[in-house]
Chains A and B, each alone.
Chain A
Amino acid sequence: MLRQSETSLPAWVISTIEDALKSESNPVARSHMRFILDNIAMAATKSLPICQDTGLLIFHLEMGRDLHPRFDIRDAIAEGVRTATREVPLRPNAVDPMTRKNTGDNTGPGMPDLISDSVDGGCLKITAFPKGAGSENMSLVGMLNPADDPFDFIIRTVAERASNACPPLFLGIGIGGTFDLAARMAKRALLNMPGTTDEELDLLRRINSLGIGPMGLGGDTTALGVKIEKAACHTASLPVAINFQCWANRRASALVTEDGWSTD
Protein backbone atom coordinates (compact mmCIF):
# COMPACT_ATOMS: atom_id res chain seq x y z
CA MET A 1 0.00 0.00 0.00
CA LEU A 2 2.86 2.42 0.76
CA ARG A 3 4.50 1.58 -2.55
CA GLN A 4 1.20 2.29 -4.32
CA SER A 5 0.79 5.59 -2.46
CA GLU A 6 4.25 6.77 -3.53
CA THR A 7 4.37 5.55 -7.13
CA SER A 8 0.84 6.19 -8.43
CA LEU A 9 -1.94 8.72 -8.09
CA PRO A 10 -5.69 8.11 -7.84
CA ALA A 11 -7.34 8.15 -11.30
CA TRP A 12 -9.47 11.17 -10.40
CA VAL A 13 -6.35 13.23 -9.61
CA ILE A 14 -4.84 12.40 -13.01
CA SER A 15 -8.07 13.20 -14.87
CA THR A 16 -8.37 16.50 -12.96
CA ILE A 17 -4.88 17.51 -14.17
CA GLU A 18 -5.73 16.35 -17.73
CA ASP A 19 -8.93 18.41 -17.73
CA ALA A 20 -7.08 21.48 -16.44
CA LEU A 21 -4.47 21.11 -19.20
CA LYS A 22 -7.24 21.22 -21.82
CA SER A 23 -8.33 24.67 -20.67
CA GLU A 24 -4.88 26.08 -19.80
CA SER A 25 -3.89 28.94 -22.12
CA ASN A 26 -0.34 29.75 -20.89
CA PRO A 27 2.38 27.92 -22.92
CA VAL A 28 4.82 27.69 -19.96
CA ALA A 29 2.03 26.27 -17.80
CA ARG A 30 1.12 23.78 -20.54
CA SER A 31 4.77 22.64 -20.81
CA HIS A 32 4.94 22.03 -17.06
CA MET A 33 1.57 20.25 -16.94
CA ARG A 34 2.36 17.96 -19.86
CA PHE A 35 5.62 16.99 -18.15
CA ILE A 36 3.80 16.41 -14.86
CA LEU A 37 1.46 13.97 -16.65
CA ASP A 38 4.45 12.25 -18.33
CA ASN A 39 6.12 11.96 -14.92
CA ILE A 40 3.02 10.40 -13.35
CA ALA A 41 2.85 7.80 -16.14
CA MET A 42 6.59 7.05 -15.90
CA ALA A 43 6.47 6.63 -12.11
CA ALA A 44 3.58 4.17 -12.38
CA THR A 45 5.19 2.18 -15.20
CA LYS A 46 8.58 1.89 -13.53
CA SER A 47 7.18 1.72 -9.98
CA LEU A 48 9.34 4.70 -8.94
CA PRO A 49 8.39 7.37 -6.39
CA ILE A 50 6.58 10.18 -8.27
CA CYS A 51 8.55 12.78 -6.31
CA GLN A 52 11.89 12.43 -4.52
CA ASP A 53 10.20 14.02 -1.51
CA THR A 54 8.44 10.87 -0.42
CA GLY A 55 7.15 12.91 2.51
CA LEU A 56 6.36 12.22 6.09
CA LEU A 57 3.90 9.37 6.41
CA ILE A 58 0.46 10.26 7.66
CA PHE A 59 -2.21 7.60 8.11
CA HIS A 60 -5.97 7.84 8.42
CA LEU A 61 -7.41 4.90 10.35
CA GLU A 62 -11.08 3.99 10.24
CA MET A 63 -11.26 1.39 12.94
CA GLY A 64 -14.31 -0.82 13.41
CA ARG A 65 -15.72 -0.65 16.92
CA ASP A 66 -15.89 -4.46 17.07
CA LEU A 67 -12.13 -4.75 16.60
CA HIS A 68 -10.02 -5.37 19.65
CA PRO A 69 -6.47 -5.80 18.36
CA ARG A 70 -4.10 -7.44 20.81
CA PHE A 71 -1.17 -5.45 19.46
CA ASP A 72 -0.26 -1.78 19.21
CA ILE A 73 -1.46 -0.45 15.85
CA ARG A 74 1.00 2.46 16.02
CA ASP A 75 3.94 0.09 16.41
CA ALA A 76 2.69 -2.07 13.54
CA ILE A 77 2.32 0.90 11.20
CA ALA A 78 5.74 2.27 12.18
CA GLU A 79 7.20 -1.14 11.32
CA GLY A 80 5.49 -0.92 7.92
CA VAL A 81 7.04 2.52 7.37
CA ARG A 82 10.52 1.17 8.17
CA THR A 83 10.02 -1.71 5.74
CA ALA A 84 8.73 0.62 3.01
CA THR A 85 11.68 2.97 3.51
CA ARG A 86 14.00 0.08 2.65
CA GLU A 87 11.94 -1.63 -0.01
CA VAL A 88 10.06 1.02 -2.07
CA PRO A 89 12.54 2.77 -1.36
CA LEU A 90 11.64 6.06 0.36
CA ARG A 91 13.93 8.97 1.08
CA PRO A 92 14.67 9.14 4.82
CA ASN A 93 13.04 12.46 5.74
CA ALA A 94 12.37 12.34 9.48
CA VAL A 95 14.88 14.29 11.57
CA ASP A 96 15.14 15.51 15.16
CA PRO A 97 13.72 19.05 15.11
CA MET A 98 16.64 20.53 17.06
CA THR A 99 19.75 18.50 16.20
CA ARG A 100 18.40 17.84 12.64
CA LYS A 101 19.81 14.31 12.96
CA ASN A 102 18.05 11.97 10.54
CA THR A 103 16.47 8.89 12.11
CA GLY A 104 17.12 7.06 8.84
CA ASP A 105 13.81 5.19 8.68
CA ASN A 106 11.08 7.86 8.46
CA THR A 107 9.90 7.18 12.01
CA GLY A 108 10.53 9.07 15.23
CA PRO A 109 8.65 10.63 18.13
CA GLY A 110 5.12 11.34 16.84
CA MET A 111 5.90 9.90 13.42
CA PRO A 112 4.15 8.35 11.60
CA ASP A 113 1.22 10.64 12.35
CA LEU A 114 -2.11 8.83 12.84
CA ILE A 115 -5.56 10.34 12.41
CA SER A 116 -8.08 7.89 13.86
CA ASP A 117 -11.85 7.51 13.62
CA SER A 118 -14.15 4.85 15.04
CA VAL A 119 -16.66 3.35 12.61
CA ASP A 120 -19.31 0.64 12.82
CA GLY A 121 -18.38 -2.96 12.18
CA GLY A 122 -15.33 -5.16 12.36
CA CYS A 123 -13.15 -3.82 9.52
CA LEU A 124 -10.11 -1.58 9.52
CA LYS A 125 -9.45 0.83 6.67
CA ILE A 126 -5.97 2.38 6.57
CA THR A 127 -5.23 5.25 4.20
CA ALA A 128 -1.59 6.20 3.68
CA PHE A 129 -1.09 9.84 2.90
CA PRO A 130 2.54 10.82 2.22
CA LYS A 131 2.96 14.57 2.78
CA GLY A 132 5.85 16.42 1.17
CA ALA A 133 7.49 19.43 2.79
CA GLY A 134 7.26 21.88 -0.11
CA SER A 135 3.52 22.25 0.22
CA GLU A 136 3.36 21.60 3.98
CA ASN A 137 5.86 24.44 4.64
CA MET A 138 3.50 26.98 3.07
CA SER A 139 0.54 26.00 5.29
CA LEU A 140 -0.79 28.49 7.82
CA VAL A 141 -3.24 28.90 10.70
CA GLY A 142 -4.69 32.38 11.14
CA MET A 143 -6.53 33.44 14.29
CA LEU A 144 -8.77 35.97 12.61
CA ASN A 145 -10.93 38.69 14.06
CA PRO A 146 -14.54 37.44 13.79
CA ALA A 147 -15.23 40.58 11.73
CA ASP A 148 -12.71 39.40 9.08
CA ASP A 149 -13.71 37.57 5.92
CA PRO A 150 -12.14 34.07 6.03
CA PHE A 151 -12.21 33.79 2.23
CA ASP A 152 -10.30 37.04 1.84
CA PHE A 153 -7.65 35.66 4.23
CA ILE A 154 -7.48 32.39 2.25
CA ILE A 155 -7.11 34.17 -1.11
CA ARG A 156 -4.36 36.47 0.20
CA THR A 157 -2.49 33.57 1.81
CA VAL A 158 -2.65 31.57 -1.41
CA ALA A 159 -1.55 34.63 -3.42
CA GLU A 160 1.48 35.06 -1.20
CA ARG A 161 2.51 31.43 -0.72
CA ALA A 162 1.28 29.24 -3.58
CA SER A 163 4.33 29.56 -5.83
CA ASN A 164 6.54 27.65 -3.37
CA ALA A 165 3.98 24.94 -2.67
CA CYS A 166 4.30 23.15 -6.06
CA PRO A 167 1.05 24.29 -7.71
CA PRO A 168 -1.33 23.32 -9.21
CA LEU A 169 -2.58 22.73 -5.70
CA PHE A 170 -5.18 20.99 -3.64
CA LEU A 171 -6.18 23.16 -0.68
CA GLY A 172 -7.50 21.74 2.57
CA ILE A 173 -9.28 24.44 4.57
CA GLY A 174 -10.41 24.36 8.20
CA ILE A 175 -12.71 27.15 9.36
CA GLY A 176 -13.71 27.46 13.01
CA GLY A 177 -12.92 25.26 15.99
CA THR A 178 -9.76 26.13 17.89
CA PHE A 179 -6.15 26.83 16.89
CA ASP A 180 -5.28 23.15 16.57
CA LEU A 181 -8.70 21.86 15.50
CA ALA A 182 -8.66 24.22 12.50
CA ALA A 183 -5.31 22.75 11.42
CA ARG A 184 -6.51 19.18 11.88
CA MET A 185 -9.69 19.93 9.90
CA ALA A 186 -7.56 21.35 7.10
CA LYS A 187 -5.54 18.13 7.00
CA ARG A 188 -8.71 16.03 7.08
CA ALA A 189 -10.10 18.18 4.26
CA LEU A 190 -7.21 16.96 2.10
CA LEU A 191 -8.38 13.40 2.73
CA ASN A 192 -11.90 14.32 1.62
CA MET A 193 -10.86 16.06 -1.59
CA PRO A 194 -12.26 17.41 -3.87
CA GLY A 195 -14.97 19.71 -2.61
CA THR A 196 -18.11 20.09 -4.70
CA THR A 197 -20.24 22.66 -2.86
CA ASP A 198 -20.95 26.05 -4.45
CA GLU A 199 -18.81 27.69 -1.75
CA GLU A 200 -15.85 25.43 -2.50
CA LEU A 201 -16.18 25.80 -6.26
CA ASP A 202 -16.48 29.57 -5.96
CA LEU A 203 -13.28 29.71 -3.86
CA LEU A 204 -11.54 27.49 -6.44
CA ARG A 205 -12.62 29.85 -9.23
CA ARG A 206 -11.38 32.91 -7.31
CA ILE A 207 -7.99 31.28 -6.64
CA ASN A 208 -7.57 30.32 -10.29
CA SER A 209 -8.40 33.88 -11.37
CA LEU A 210 -5.18 35.04 -9.61
CA GLY A 211 -3.07 33.72 -12.50
CA ILE A 212 -0.29 32.18 -10.35
CA GLY A 213 -0.17 29.02 -12.47
CA PRO A 214 1.88 25.82 -12.20
CA MET A 215 5.00 26.39 -10.07
CA GLY A 216 4.21 30.12 -9.86
CA LEU A 217 5.24 30.75 -13.48
CA GLY A 218 1.82 32.08 -14.51
CA GLY A 219 -1.28 30.43 -15.93
CA ASP A 220 -4.93 29.60 -15.42
CA THR A 221 -4.28 26.51 -13.27
CA THR A 222 -3.28 27.41 -9.71
CA ALA A 223 -5.56 25.02 -7.83
CA LEU A 224 -7.21 21.75 -8.83
CA GLY A 225 -9.45 21.32 -5.82
CA VAL A 226 -10.57 23.00 -2.61
CA LYS A 227 -12.24 21.27 0.34
CA ILE A 228 -13.56 23.10 3.39
CA GLU A 229 -14.27 21.55 6.80
CA LYS A 230 -16.00 23.59 9.50
CA ALA A 231 -16.52 23.40 13.25
CA ALA A 232 -18.18 25.59 15.84
CA CYS A 233 -15.86 28.18 17.31
CA HIS A 234 -15.82 30.58 20.26
CA THR A 235 -17.89 33.71 19.77
CA ALA A 236 -14.68 35.75 20.07
CA SER A 237 -12.63 33.57 17.65
CA LEU A 238 -12.33 32.83 13.96
CA PRO A 239 -9.53 30.28 13.37
CA VAL A 240 -8.81 29.57 9.69
CA ALA A 241 -6.27 26.95 8.58
CA ILE A 242 -4.96 26.35 5.09
CA ASN A 243 -3.12 23.10 4.42
CA PHE A 244 -1.40 23.23 1.04
CA GLN A 245 -1.06 20.04 -0.97
CA CYS A 246 0.89 19.88 -4.24
CA TRP A 247 -0.55 18.33 -7.43
CA ALA A 248 0.87 14.96 -6.31
CA ASN A 249 -2.10 14.28 -4.10
CA ARG A 250 -0.78 10.88 -3.07
CA ARG A 251 -2.75 8.31 -1.15
CA ALA A 252 -3.61 4.63 -1.09
CA SER A 253 -5.93 2.63 1.13
CA ALA A 254 -6.02 -0.90 2.45
CA LEU A 255 -9.15 -2.55 3.77
CA VAL A 256 -8.54 -5.23 6.38
CA THR A 257 -11.42 -7.63 6.98
CA GLU A 258 -11.85 -11.09 8.52
CA ASP A 259 -11.13 -12.55 5.08
CA GLY A 260 -7.83 -10.73 4.52
CA TRP A 261 -6.88 -7.40 3.04
CA SER A 262 -7.18 -5.54 -0.26
CA THR A 263 -5.79 -2.24 -1.50
CA ASP A 264 -7.58 0.61 -3.22
Chain B
Amino acid sequence: MEHRLRTPLLAEDIHKLRAGDTVYLSGTIYTARDKAHAKLRSCGCLPVDLSGATLYHCGPLIIDDIVISAGPTTSGRMARYSEEVVSHGVRAIIGKGGVPGEGLQGKCVYLAYPGGCGAAAAGQLRVLQVHLPELGMAEAMWELEATDLGPMIVAIDCHGGDLYRDVKKSVQERLKPDR
Protein backbone atom coordinates (compact mmCIF):
# COMPACT_ATOMS: atom_id res chain seq x y z
CA MET B 1 0.00 0.00 0.00
CA GLU B 2 1.19 3.54 -0.77
CA HIS B 3 0.86 6.47 1.67
CA ARG B 4 1.49 10.21 1.25
CA LEU B 5 2.11 11.76 4.65
CA ARG B 6 2.95 15.21 6.01
CA THR B 7 5.00 16.10 9.07
CA PRO B 8 4.64 16.58 11.99
CA LEU B 9 3.27 13.03 12.12
CA LEU B 10 0.34 12.17 14.36
CA ALA B 11 0.00 8.86 16.18
CA GLU B 12 -2.83 7.90 13.80
CA ASP B 13 -0.65 8.63 10.76
CA ILE B 14 1.91 6.05 11.75
CA HIS B 15 -0.65 3.51 12.98
CA LYS B 16 -1.91 3.22 9.40
CA LEU B 17 1.49 2.00 8.22
CA ARG B 18 2.35 -1.67 7.85
CA ALA B 19 5.78 -3.19 7.18
CA GLY B 20 6.30 -3.40 3.41
CA ASP B 21 4.14 -0.33 2.63
CA THR B 22 5.56 2.54 0.58
CA VAL B 23 5.66 6.10 1.96
CA TYR B 24 6.24 9.51 0.37
CA LEU B 25 6.77 12.15 3.06
CA SER B 26 6.43 15.93 2.86
CA GLY B 27 7.08 18.64 5.42
CA THR B 28 9.87 19.43 7.88
CA ILE B 29 12.41 16.75 8.78
CA TYR B 30 15.69 16.96 10.72
CA THR B 31 18.96 15.25 9.88
CA ALA B 32 20.70 13.72 12.89
CA ARG B 33 23.62 11.37 13.05
CA ASP B 34 26.35 10.35 15.50
CA LYS B 35 27.26 13.71 17.03
CA ALA B 36 23.72 15.15 17.27
CA HIS B 37 22.59 11.97 19.05
CA ALA B 38 25.59 12.13 21.40
CA LYS B 39 24.66 15.77 22.13
CA LEU B 40 21.09 14.72 22.95
CA ARG B 41 22.47 12.19 25.42
CA SER B 42 24.95 14.57 27.06
CA CYS B 43 22.67 17.66 27.21
CA GLY B 44 19.27 15.98 27.48
CA CYS B 45 17.85 18.15 24.74
CA LEU B 46 18.34 19.39 21.19
CA PRO B 47 17.67 22.82 19.67
CA VAL B 48 14.56 21.51 17.88
CA ASP B 49 11.20 20.21 19.14
CA LEU B 50 11.26 16.45 18.69
CA SER B 51 7.59 15.93 19.52
CA GLY B 52 6.02 14.27 16.48
CA ALA B 53 9.26 14.91 14.59
CA THR B 54 10.85 12.89 11.82
CA LEU B 55 14.59 12.30 12.13
CA TYR B 56 16.65 11.51 9.06
CA HIS B 57 19.85 9.53 9.64
CA CYS B 58 21.79 11.47 7.04
CA GLY B 59 25.05 13.36 6.75
CA PRO B 60 24.23 15.53 3.76
CA LEU B 61 26.47 17.26 1.26
CA ILE B 62 25.18 20.85 1.33
CA ILE B 63 26.97 23.87 -0.13
CA ASP B 64 25.63 27.43 0.32
CA ASP B 65 22.36 25.99 1.66
CA ILE B 66 21.81 24.01 -1.55
CA VAL B 67 21.35 20.26 -1.02
CA ILE B 68 23.81 18.57 -3.39
CA SER B 69 23.47 14.94 -2.24
CA ALA B 70 21.61 13.61 0.80
CA GLY B 71 20.91 9.90 1.00
CA PRO B 72 20.62 7.95 4.27
CA THR B 73 23.51 6.86 6.47
CA THR B 74 23.76 3.56 8.39
CA SER B 75 21.21 3.69 11.20
CA GLY B 76 22.94 0.95 13.17
CA ARG B 77 25.41 3.49 14.59
CA MET B 78 22.52 5.44 16.14
CA ALA B 79 20.65 2.35 17.41
CA ARG B 80 21.97 2.91 20.94
CA TYR B 81 19.97 6.17 21.13
CA SER B 82 16.61 4.83 19.88
CA GLU B 83 14.87 4.83 23.25
CA GLU B 84 15.96 8.40 23.97
CA VAL B 85 14.71 9.85 20.69
CA VAL B 86 11.42 7.94 20.98
CA SER B 87 10.97 9.21 24.56
CA HIS B 88 11.32 12.77 23.17
CA GLY B 89 8.40 12.09 20.83
CA VAL B 90 10.06 11.20 17.52
CA ARG B 91 7.46 9.32 15.43
CA ALA B 92 9.51 8.36 12.39
CA ILE B 93 13.14 7.61 11.72
CA ILE B 94 14.41 7.55 8.15
CA GLY B 95 17.63 5.70 7.39
CA LYS B 96 19.09 2.56 5.91
CA GLY B 97 20.02 -0.78 7.40
CA GLY B 98 17.54 -0.47 10.29
CA VAL B 99 17.69 -0.41 14.09
CA PRO B 100 16.50 -3.10 16.52
CA GLY B 101 12.69 -2.84 16.53
CA GLU B 102 12.41 -3.11 20.34
CA GLY B 103 13.99 0.33 20.77
CA LEU B 104 11.11 1.92 18.85
CA GLN B 105 8.60 0.48 21.35
CA GLY B 106 5.70 0.58 18.91
CA LYS B 107 5.71 4.40 19.11
CA CYS B 108 7.90 5.17 16.12
CA VAL B 109 8.18 3.77 12.60
CA TYR B 110 11.38 3.16 10.67
CA LEU B 111 11.34 4.16 7.01
CA ALA B 112 14.03 2.77 4.69
CA TYR B 113 15.20 5.23 2.05
CA PRO B 114 17.21 3.47 -0.70
CA GLY B 115 20.84 3.68 0.43
CA GLY B 116 23.28 5.55 -1.75
CA CYS B 117 20.58 7.54 -3.57
CA GLY B 118 21.91 10.94 -2.55
CA ALA B 119 21.45 12.68 -5.89
CA ALA B 120 17.77 11.71 -6.10
CA ALA B 121 17.13 12.68 -2.47
CA ALA B 122 18.68 16.11 -3.08
CA GLY B 123 15.87 16.88 -5.54
CA GLN B 124 13.29 16.15 -2.82
CA LEU B 125 14.88 18.28 -0.07
CA ARG B 126 15.35 22.01 0.56
CA VAL B 127 17.27 23.68 3.40
CA LEU B 128 15.16 25.63 5.91
CA GLN B 129 17.89 26.22 8.50
CA VAL B 130 20.83 24.58 10.21
CA HIS B 131 21.12 23.76 13.92
CA LEU B 132 24.39 22.85 15.66
CA PRO B 133 26.49 24.02 12.67
CA GLU B 134 29.59 23.71 14.88
CA LEU B 135 29.34 19.91 14.45
CA GLY B 136 30.31 20.29 10.78
CA MET B 137 28.49 19.70 7.50
CA ALA B 138 27.78 15.99 7.90
CA GLU B 139 27.04 16.05 11.63
CA ALA B 140 25.00 19.25 12.00
CA MET B 141 21.20 19.06 12.37
CA TRP B 142 19.80 20.32 9.09
CA GLU B 143 16.17 21.35 9.16
CA LEU B 144 14.94 20.39 5.70
CA GLU B 145 11.68 20.68 3.83
CA ALA B 146 10.86 17.40 2.13
CA THR B 147 8.64 17.20 -0.93
CA ASP B 148 7.40 13.66 -1.56
CA LEU B 149 10.56 12.20 -0.06
CA GLY B 150 10.55 8.63 -1.28
CA PRO B 151 9.86 5.94 -2.22
CA MET B 152 10.56 4.79 1.34
CA ILE B 153 9.67 1.35 2.61
CA VAL B 154 8.05 0.93 6.02
CA ALA B 155 10.67 -1.48 7.38
CA ILE B 156 9.54 -1.43 11.05
CA ASP B 157 5.92 -0.55 11.89
CA CYS B 158 4.13 0.07 15.22
CA HIS B 159 2.41 -3.30 15.24
CA GLY B 160 5.40 -5.61 15.54
CA GLY B 161 6.14 -5.81 11.79
CA ASP B 162 9.89 -5.74 11.11
CA LEU B 163 11.31 -6.64 7.70
CA TYR B 164 14.93 -6.71 8.95
CA ARG B 165 14.06 -9.16 11.74
CA ASP B 166 12.13 -11.35 9.28
CA VAL B 167 15.02 -11.37 6.80
CA LYS B 168 17.61 -12.11 9.53
CA LYS B 169 15.52 -15.02 10.77
CA SER B 170 15.16 -16.45 7.29
CA VAL B 171 18.91 -16.00 6.61
CA GLN B 172 19.72 -17.95 9.81
CA GLU B 173 17.42 -20.75 8.63
CA ARG B 174 19.19 -20.88 5.28
CA LEU B 175 22.60 -21.04 6.99
CA LYS B 176 21.74 -24.25 8.83
CA PRO B 177 24.03 -27.03 7.57
CA ASP B 178 21.32 -29.68 7.24
CA ARG B 179 19.40 -27.62 4.75
Contacts and interface: CB of A to CB of B under 8 A. Distances in A.
B115 interface: yes
Interface string B101-126: 00000000000101111111111000
Contact of A217 (B70, B153, B174): B153
B43 interface: no
B74 A39 contact: no
Contacts of A54: 61, 69
B71 to A, nearest CB: 5
Residue from B117, B174, B175 with most neighbouring chain A CB atoms (10 Å)? B117
A84 B117 CA distance: 21
Interface string A43-54: 100101111111
B115 A102 contact: no
B117 A36 contact: yes
Contact of A28 (B20, B68, B174, B175): B20
Contacts of B63: 89
Interface stretch (B5-13, B45-53, B85-93, B160-168): B160-168
B114 to A, nearest CB: 5
B174 A209 contact: yes
A134 B166 CA distance: 22
B114 A216 contact: no
B97 A92 contact: no
Nearest to A213: B167
A43 B123 CA distance: 10
Interface residues of A, number: 47
B73 A31 contact: no
Q: Which of A46, A92, A209, A217 counts the most B-chain CB atoms under 10 A from its CB? A: A217
B120 A92 contact: no
Interface residue SS majority, chain B = mixed
Given A52-B118, A90-B61, A164-B74, A31 B175 contact: no
A215 B114 contact: yes
B115 A38 contact: no
Nearest to B170: A211
Interface in A19-52: 28, 31-32, 35-36, 38-39, 42-43, 46, 48-52
A163 B164 contact: yes
A50 B151 contact: no
A1 B168 CA distance: 39
A44 to B, nearest CB: 9
Interface string B51-69: 0000000111101000011
Given A31-B151, A155-B175, A51 B20 contact: no
A53 B73 CA distance: 8
B155 interface: yes
A228 B58 CA distance: 32
B117 A35 contact: yes
A35 B120 contact: yes
A48 B122 contact: yes
| Chain B interface residue number, banded | 35 or more
A6 B49 CA distance: 35
A217 B116 contact: no
Given A35-B117, A210-B174, A247-B116, A163 B167 contact: yes
Contact of B97 (A32, A48, A132, A216): A216
B69 A48 contact: yes
A39 B117 contact: yes
Contact of A38 (B22, B59, B120, B163): B120
A53 B20 CA distance: 27
Interface string A230-253: 000000000000000011100000
Closest 5 CB pairs of A and B: A43-B119, A52-B118, A39-B117, A52-B69, A39-B120
12 contacts: A39-B114, A39-B119, A42-B120, A48-B118, A52-B68, A52-B121, A91-B61, A91-B69, A164-B97, A215-B97, A217-B153, A218-B170
Given A7-B119, A164-B74, 16 more contacts: A32-B153, A38-B120, A39-B118, A39-B120, A52-B68, A89-B61, A92-B136, A134-B97, A134-B115, A213-B167, A215-B96, A215-B115, A216-B97, A216-B164, A217-B112, A246-B115
